[in-house]
Homo-oligomer: A and B are copies of this chain.
Amino acid sequence: MEATRTLPIYTEERKENCIRRLKAAEGQLRGVQEMIEQQRQCLEVLTQLSAAQNALRQVSRIILRNYLENCATDAIRRSDPKVYDELMDAIFKFSH
């Protein structure tokens, strides 16, 4: 929404938190591929997939909170009428 922002959107702490979780999810997805190659039981594969999805959900939660605290807050303060459609869109993406 704003090209001229100079402050970083993500703090160092949030950035590292997200990247750590994303790397863990990547590792879990490589694990799922191996499990399928090795013909491991479906329920084990589903459990591992579910763990990766939880990790991504945590990342989405952090990014969504960041969006609320930064972009959405700025837009609400300057009374940008588009912010509510954008917010609903972000929440919809998060909840699917």
Chain A residues at the B interface, C-beta cutoff of 8 Å? 1, 8-10, 15, 18-19, 22-23, 25-26, 29-30, 32-33, 36-37, 39-43, 45-47, 49-50, 52-54, 56-57, 59-61, 63-73, 76-77, 84, 86-91, 93-96
Contact = CB atoms under 8 A, between A and B. Distances in A.
B93 A95 contact: no
How many copies of this protein are present in the complex?
4
B36 A29 contact: no
The main secondary structure of chain A at its interface with chain B is helix
B39 A8 contact: yes
Contacts of A37: 15, 19
The 4 closest A-B pairs by CB, nearest first: A95-B95, A42-B67, A50-B93, A76-B76
